[in-house]
């Protein structure tokens, strides 16, 4: 897997009332083509600062040191606008402020089609196709809608549809499930997973929810106070060799919704009884989550079945 994005020795400080806040310290990370990478940390850890630095969206008060490379070329803050919205899109954290309330969804999506140089006669069809791809109910009704007429989950899907306008290589999703209930949260995570897979895009998921990160991503990078604590494959997250910070985040993660039974461990992964891979387990778990049923039940040591299969 070649690297789509490389960050070397990134440090970011903000000016604050005569002081400087060190938001990111000496960070290095790579994101491969087609890789799904999660940046996980508690509030204030510096996650959004990393995203905003990549996107060139930090204000004048911020000082940046270090280097960012995208597809092998160095990204400068002065020229990053050439990539923004085209090669790299950011699905922002605050869906409520991210859609202009004054213009209809259709008008805003039409502007994006214009920027993507889509011929005027093809724009309506393309907008509908994008709205269908993010599985909005009654997609034909969305272009005439305004932001206040949509639920939080629908807004999130509209933002995703907008982000997909130019077929970006990298989607940065900053807390894409913030404020959503567990079922809608699962819906958005599933959708992101399927979209990036279908389009062979890379994903950087920014979240404080380590279990959502494990569910969706291949690799997890844990950030604490602006510094990287640990980087590990998501499949290793439930093993014992974790950094204490990762364990603390796991303990703090919500118990409902994305809960994965604590027994999921190497015993299960290598169980000769089930022969079920970790990926297959996750799929079963996902399905049972979506159906609002309890996940799996252990009927014998190392032998798991779906609850609905047990009399
Ligand atoms: N514009 C700014 N001016 C001054 N300090 C800032 C600014 N933006 C962020 N910070 C500070 O930088 C640090 C990292 O903030 P950042 O928003 O990147 O964290 P985060 O991990 O994304 O948090 P959250 O999950 O709450 O969004 C925090 O201490 C924050 O107070």
pLDDT at 260: 41
At residue 303, the pLDDT reads 57
Evaluate if residue 299 carries a pLDDT over 70. Answer: no
User: Two tokens at 284?
Assistant: 């079963």
What is the rounded average pLDDT of the residues 188-197? 88
Of the two residues 274 and 220, the one the predictor is more confident about is 220
**Would you state the pLDDT for residue 275?**
38
pLDDT for residue 205: 96
Select from 145, 134, 83 the least CA-distant residue to 108: 145
**Beta-carbon count within 10 A of 303 CB:** 13
Nearest CA to ligand 1 atom 3: 14
Q: How far is CA 311 from CA 138, 286, 305, in A?
A: 38, 21, 11
Q: What is the pLDDT of residue 40?
A: 93
pTM beyond 0.90: no
Average pLDDT over residues 108-129: 91
pLDDT tens sequence across 82-93: 999 889 999 988
Structure-token pair, residue 203: 């994903």
- Which pair of tokens denotes residue 139? 């997609």
Please say if the pLDDT value at position 257 is more than 70: no
At 261, is the pLDDT very low, low, confident or very high (cuts 50, 70, 90)?
Answer: very low
Q: Is the pLDDT of residue 265 over 70?
A: no
Could you tell me which of 242, 235, 241 has the C-alpha nearest to residue 260? Answer: 235
As for ligand 1, residues whose beta carbon falls within 6 Å of it are 14, 16, 21, 23, 41, 43-49, 59, 208
Return left, alpha or beta for 301; rule: phi > 0 is left, psi -120 to 50 is alpha, else beta. Answer: beta
Per residue in 43-56, pLDDT (tens digit) is: 899 999 999 999 99
**For position 123, what pLDDT does the model report?**
92
Looking at per-residue pLDDT, the higher value among 117 and 289 belongs to 117
Taking CA atoms only, the protein residue closest to ligand 1 atom 1 is 14
Angle value at C-alpha 149, between 143 and 150, nearest 5 degrees: 80
Closest ligand 1 atom to 41 CA? 21
Output 161 or 302, whichever has higher pLDDT: 161
Ligand 1 centre distance from Cα of residue 44 (Å): 5
State the chain's mean pLDDT as an integer. Answer: 81
What is the C-alpha separation between 255 and 246, in angstroms, rounded?
Answer: 16
pLDDT at 280: 52
Ligand 1, atom 14, residue with closest C-alpha:
46
Q: How far apart are CA 284 and CA 290, in angstroms?
A: 10
Go through the domains of the chain in sequence order and give each one's CATH number. Answer: 3-225 (3.40.50.300), 242-310 (no CATH)
Indicate which residue's Cα is closest to atom 24 of ligand 1: 43
Q: How many helices (H) and strands (E) does the chain have?
A: 10, 12
| Most confident listed range (187-191, 200-204, 235-239) | 200-204
């Amino acid at each position: 897997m070649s690297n789509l994005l490389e960050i070397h020795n990134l440090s970011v400080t903000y000016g604050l009332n005569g002081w400087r806040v060190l938001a990111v310290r000496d960070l290095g990370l790579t994101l491969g083509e087609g890789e799904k990478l999660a940046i996980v940390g508690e509030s204030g850890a510096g996650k959004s600062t990393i995203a905003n630095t990549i996107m060139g969206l930090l204000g004048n008060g911020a000082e940046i040191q270090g280097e960012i490379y995208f597809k092998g070329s160095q990204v400068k803050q002065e020229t990053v606008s050439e990539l923004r919205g085209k090669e790299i899109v950011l699905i922002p954290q605050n869906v409520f402020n991210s859609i202009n309330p004054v213009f209809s969804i259709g008008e805003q999506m039409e502007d994006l089609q214009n920027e993507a140089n889509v011929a005027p006669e093809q724009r309506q069809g393309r907008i509908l196709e994008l709205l269908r791809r993010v599985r909005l109910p009654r997609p034909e009704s969305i272009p005439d809608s305004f932001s206040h007429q949509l639920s939080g989950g629908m807004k999130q899907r509209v933002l995703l549809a907008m982000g997909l306008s130019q077929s970006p290589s990298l989607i940065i999703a900053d807390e894409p499930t913030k404020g959503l209930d567990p079922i809608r949260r699962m819906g958005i995570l599933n959708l992101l997973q399927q979209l990036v897979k279908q389009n062979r895009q890379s994903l950087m998921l920014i979240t404080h929810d380590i279990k959502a990160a494990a569910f969706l991503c291949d690799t997890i990078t844990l950030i604490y106070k602006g510094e990287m604590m640990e980087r590990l494959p998501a499949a290793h997250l439930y093993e014992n060799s974790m950094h204490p910070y990762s364990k603390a985040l796991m303990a703090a993660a919500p118990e409902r919704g994305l809960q994965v039974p604590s027994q999921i461990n190497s015993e299960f992964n290598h169980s000769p009884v089930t022969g079920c891979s970790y990926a297959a387990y996750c799929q079963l778990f996902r399905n049972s989550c979506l159906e609002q049923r309890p996940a799996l039940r252990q009927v014998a040591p190392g032998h798991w079945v779906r609850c609905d299969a047990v009399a």
